[in-house]
Amino acid sequence: MTVPTTAAPPNRIQLRVLFPTVDDGRYPVKRCVGDVVHVGCDVFRDGHDLLRTVVRWRGPGDADWQEADMVAVDAHYKGVRWEGRFPVDRQGRWEFGVQSWTDRFATWRDEFRRKVEGGQQDLSGELSEGILLLREAQDAAPAGEDRDRLARAIALIEDPATGETVRNGVALDEHLAMAVERHAARVDPTDLPEPLAVEVDRVRARFGSWYELFPRSFGGLKGVEAQLPRLAELGFDVLYLPPIHPIGRKNRKGRNTPDFPGGNPVAAPDEPGSPWAIGAAEGGHDAVHPELGTIDDVRSLCSRASEYGIDIALDMAIQCSADHPWLTEHPEWFNRRPDGTLKYAENPPKKYQDIYNLNWDTPAWRELWEELRRMTLQWVDCGVKVFRVDNPHTKPFPFWEWLIREVHAVDRDVIFLAEAFTRRSVMRQLAKIGFTQSYTYFTWKTSRWDLMEYVNELAHGPEKEYFRPNFFANTPDILHESLVHGGPPMFTARLVLAGTLSPTYGIYSGYENFENEAVRPGSEEYRDSEKYVIKQRSLDGPLLPFVERFNRIRRENPALQELSNITFLETENEGLIAYAKRTGDNLVICVVSLDAHHGQEGVANIPAHLGTPPAFRVHDLITDEWHEWRIGRNYVHLWPPTRMAHIFRVEGW
């Protein structure tokens, strides 16, 4: 290795182990408007010189950087670990970095102080060094209080009539040190090679309550619009609609039965088909099924929903029926066998005879991407603020990164939810490249240990910086056996778990009616699945009063609107799970039974580090009861069917 040829010697300050980052800065971390970004960095150099370190940041479109001091927080490493923070107050991509430099005056002052305290005599040489540093700061300071203070200090130190004690006191004066700090040159300033990014979204990206329904079961889009006042009363923030486009007729699927759990491959003439088999003579992904309404009805629905504070989420399923116009207009977008036939979609053992996938490797891929961009922006123009993306893991990552960026350039409010129940690394990558939220494995996590392990990974592991979970308790495709066998008590328990473990959760229509009949034993498919039939729905299920109260509890308690603030509690019973969430002075303690058939007794063991007084009162927000609790073991008893959970708020502390 040759000696560097730069005019100045290489920087001696090291910046290491920076947080928050995703893949060492390759992807942005995620925050929401109003958040404070906490930044940490190991900052050190050779020798014993003291350092100063700041966090620097700028918002989207800003030319100038702002900065704030970072503080050395880890005495064990003698000030190696530095921490700081900055607020983010608007959406978009923010940049931040860390800068550190050698603080020559602080280094001199520290050494001088130790010599004075050690009784060392004749420190005139040391004072001459200090005066040089004071003069440099004086020259840099504008006219005003600091410049005058520096001039007075220099005069006193240099005045032969000044006694040694006074001279030393002036040199070590705290206010003088602060004045120097404000104006001294930054020596050997060291920055990160490149700034890091923070993607800042609206709060709905982190916190919300979703409700999924099939418009055709509510009388079409106008019928859905009529439900908005009630949905708002129930406390839902996002209304998610499966595909609303024309449905293909060729290979249309009929009602699912035990013999055909994935839908009968031969539909009766009056059966409506699956909404995910998109495309017919009436149009494709940019059209509305005539029996549901028109594009103007979509505009009306979105506009009215916004008046109630509700976002409309539209399913984005990039796949085609055999009748989709693209098959004739753009045959180059599809894969064909050597004999010219198309292969329908499969996910063994499931077969989707009514669906054909696109060829993402087509030479005409640019035209395909542009058409999908046009289609997406059409719905954004109609007022759609959320896209629930079907199976994004089967499409190219670069496409999603590009599409999300293109849409956000038009409307930064748009949220993308990744429906990808697949390998963990693939789900993580989708979140890294831009998906706002992600479906999770929550539906299959039913034991205390599984829930604790999984939520701790999401809340406290590396994923907390970029992976925002959406805990759906059920979906049209997923009826978990815990609901099949647990009945109404388990529906209540899973609702509470979904909406208190995760800031964002969802339920699919029918949950409030305790629908739990599987198409056959061991299957997660609903019998008479709404994917293949039209049902007559209304918002009148017996669970809805509890849902309304539950969503109000979530809105009134900021602690339930975050993920990384969770602490699991010891229960001394595997049939119970308990956890606490704290944001500021809002502390909520949840205890949930995992047993739908038997009463369960145990404790909620409150650790001292939660910060409560030794004894305190808790208010059960579900039952409106009050209890006296304390740090340590607190008795709890839950039983089906009437009491499956406690949501306690700590009061008066």
Contact 29, 197 (CB under 8 A): yes
| Whole-number Cα distances in Å, 175 to 169, 184, 205 | 11, 14, 45
- In degrees rounded to 5, what are phi and psi of residue 539? -85, 80
Buried b (16+ CB within 10 A) or exposed e, 276-301: bbbbbeebbbebbbeebbebebbebb
- In degrees rounded to 5, what are phi and psi of residue 278? -85, 135
Residues in CB range of 365: below 8 A, 6 or more apart: none
Sheet containing 586-593: order of strands: 566-569, 576-583, 586-593, 645-651, 615-620, 626-630
Contact 589, 648 (CB under 8 A): yes
Residues in CB range of 366: below 8 A, 6 or more apart: none
| Whole-number Cα distances in Å, 478 to 358, 426, 441, 522, 528 | 25, 20, 11, 12, 13
Cross-strand partners of 636: 602
Give 232: exposed, middle or buried? Use CB within 10 Å, 0-12, 13-18, 19+.
middle
Residues in CB range of 201: below 8 A, 6 or more apart: 30, 31, 32, 33, 91, 412, 415, 436
Residues in CB range of 496: below 8 A, 6 or more apart: 550, 590, 592, 644, 645, 647
Give 108: exposed, middle or buried? Use CB within 10 Å, 0-12, 13-18, 19+.
buried
Residues with a known catalytic role: 390, 419
Contact 516, 483 (CB under 8 A): yes
Rounded to whole angstroms, how far apart are CA atoms 58 and 203? 20
* Three-class SS of 243-293: CCCCECCCCCCECCECCECCCECCCCCCCCCCCCCECECCECCCCCCCCCC
Residues in CB range of 433: below 8 A, 6 or more apart: 27, 397, 400, 401, 404
Cross-strand partners of 388: 315, 417
Radius of gyration of the chain from its Cα atoms, rounded to whole angstroms: 31
Enter the tokens of residue 155: 């005069």
Residues in CB range of 396: below 8 A, 6 or more apart: 360
